[in-house]
Amino acid sequence: MTDPRYTPLRERHEALGASFTDFGGWAMPVRYSSDLAEHHAVRTTAGLFDISHMAEFFVEGEDAGEYLDYALAGRLSTMAVGKAKYSLVLDENGGIVDDVIVYRLGDERFLVIANAGNREPVAAALADRLEKRAVGVVDATDDFSLIAVQGPRARAVLEATDRLEDFDHPLDELKYYAAVAASFDGHPVLIARTGYTGEDGYELLVPNAHAGALWDALLAAGEPIGLVPAGLAARDTLRLEAGMPLYGHELSLDIVPAQAGLGRAVASDKDDFVGRAGLSALVATDSPVLVGLVSEGRRAGRAGYAVMDADGPVGEITSGALSPTLGHPIAMAFVAPALSAPGTELFIDVRGTRIPATVTALPFYRRTK
């Protein structure tokens, strides 16, 4: 078994007292102080995340847009420069290889950010699907670090960070799901207004050599504003509350987008794309669909626990936790479509105890600010 990899920010995490966990072959901070404190900080002020384990691919060339239309599920060729878009990489059957965010950096230049655990299959898919196009794909994962600032005060943190400057367009005009080039200490940094927490926030892409200094600068500028370092434990409860899927839980090769409520991510009117044949071959199906479940009390159903109705098992939880912000158990689960209407009363088998749960539309939490 190979040793896990560390990001360039390892020593900083250790100095901050982080506990580490293995994620996709990387040793990442799971918490610094307390999962709950870090979660609450992101909802009230801001949290600072090292997400450098994620994979980055630059896609460049005359046919880059058309290539991505073929290789991915969505329509990327019509994206405006400076915009970001959530998309999926599908296999021939329409199963989900990964969920990604695509950024258009130029007319002929895109950036695809994929999950750490799916770097290899995404790299292989992108390479296989090039065919004879005048497009180059570069796996830049090992050269870049990614730092996220998430929370209602995220913009204030960036504005307070002096050495973050030379924005191509003003930060206060940067819309959600858009990106802007800037510099940190004179080095290029890409700042995207994207995130995985359900709060406002930014993800900053920087070459490894400058990651440490950027982390330090953000933390120093942000501390008076309430910025705290936050780990993967908080990240998981935050994204769950926001109804966001996690690959390996809600998404996998065995799931087609419509099952996970992601039918809108597939531009099925495109001429051709990988997965098209597989998706059209599916007959009207009673495949399980993803729903939200809420319960009373404090005992949460967790991934793998059975969902039941009066007659027996009807599904399975993919992710679940006691929601720190809402104060009650929440879960995402796949259930038969007939049971997926909000208000449907079901049960969760929590280690032998049947806990009532009600189907609800996602997300569980939506920010107001």
Partner 1 sequence: MTDLNSLKYTAEHEWIAIDGDVATVGITDYAADKLGDVVFVELPAVDSGVSAGQVVGEIESTKSVGELYAPLTGDVVAVNEAVVDDPSLVNSDPFGEGWLVKLRVDGSAPAELIDREAYLALTGGEE
Query: For residues 16 and 267, which CB has a smaller minimum distance to partner 1 in the complex?
Result: 16
Under rule CB under 8 A, residue 35 binds partner 1? yes
Query: For residues 171 and 322, which CB has a smaller minimum distance to partner 1 in the complex?
Result: 322
Under rule CB under 8 A, residue 300 binds partner 1? yes
CB of 19 vs partner 1, minimal distance in Å? 8
Size of the site for partner 1 (CB under 8 A): 17
CB of 233 vs partner 1, minimal distance in Å? 5
- Of the candidate spans 68-76, 148-156, 159-167, 299-307, the one that interacts with partner 1 by CB under 8 A turns out to be 299-307
Query: For residues 105 and 303, which CB has a smaller minimum distance to partner 1 in the complex?
Result: 303
CB of 322 vs partner 1, minimal distance in Å? 5
Under rule CB under 8 A, residue 237 binds partner 1? yes
Among 280, 351, 368, 369, binds partner 1 (CB under 8 A): 351
Query: For residues 178 and 300, which CB has a smaller minimum distance to partner 1 in the complex?
Result: 300
Query: For residues 298 and 369, which CB has a smaller minimum distance to partner 1 in the complex?
Result: 298
CB of 237 vs partner 1, minimal distance in Å? 6
Under rule CB under 8 A, residue 36 binds partner 1? yes
CB of 39 vs partner 1, minimal distance in Å? 8
In SS3 terms, the chain reads as CCCCECCCCHHHHHHCCCEEEEECCEEEEEECCCHHHHHHHHHHCEEEEECCCCEEEEEEECCHHHHHHHHCCCCCCCCCCCEEEEEEEECCCCCEEEEEEEEEEECCEEEEEECHHHHHHHHHHHHHCCCCCCEEEEECHHHEEEEEEECCCHHHHHHHCCCEECCCCCHHHCCCCEEEEEEECCEEEEEECCCCCCCCEEEEEEEHHHHHHHHHHHHHHHHHHCEEECCHHHHHHHHHHCCCCCECCCECCCCCHHHHCCHHHCCCCCCCCCCHHHHHHCCCCCCCEEEEEECCCCCCCCCCCEEEECCEEEEEEEEEEECCCCCCEEEEEEECHHHCCCCCEEEEEECCEEEEEEEECCCCCCCCC
Under rule CB under 8 A, residue 241 binds partner 1? no
Binding positions for partner 1, rule: CB under 8 A:
19, 30-31, 34-36, 233, 236-237, 298-300, 302, 321-322, 324, 351
